[in-house]
């Protein structure tokens, strides 16, 4: 397989992962009245999932 095709597949997989992470069933799991270090659990989950996606996206795009 050629490299651009693999990169395209990885980007599509990251899109699917993002769609799953920010979809209703997973968000509902973290929608609790719990504070972690003074931050609501849902906000912490959204921020960490977002940061994970950004990091993985940077790894895929910048990898040679």
Burial profile 23-49: b = 16 or more Cβ within 10 angstroms, e = fewer: eeeeeeebeeeeeeeeeeebeebeeeb
| Angle at alpha carbon of residue 21, lines to 20 and 22, rounded to 5° | 95
pTM, to two decimals: 0.88
pLDDT, one tens digit per residue, over 9-52 is 999 999 999 999 999 999 999 999 999 999 999 999 999 999 99
Q: Is the pLDDT of residue 64 over 80?
A: no
Question: d(Cα 16, Cα 2) in Å, to the nearest integer?
Answer: 22
At residue 56 the predicted structure's pLDDT band, cuts being 50, 70 and 90, is very high
Phi, psi of 44 (to 5 degrees): -65, -45
Q: Looking at the chain, how many residues does it have?
A: 64
pLDDT, one tens digit per residue, over 2-11 is 778 999 999 9
């Amino acid at each position: 397989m050629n490299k651009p095709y693999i990169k395209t597949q990885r980007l599509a997989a990251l899109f699917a992962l993002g769609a799953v992470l920010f979809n209703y069933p997973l968000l509902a799991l973290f929608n609790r009245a719990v504070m972690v270090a003074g931050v609501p659990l849902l906000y912490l989950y959204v921020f960490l999932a977002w940061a994970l996606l950004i990091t993985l996206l940077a790894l895929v795009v910048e990898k040679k």
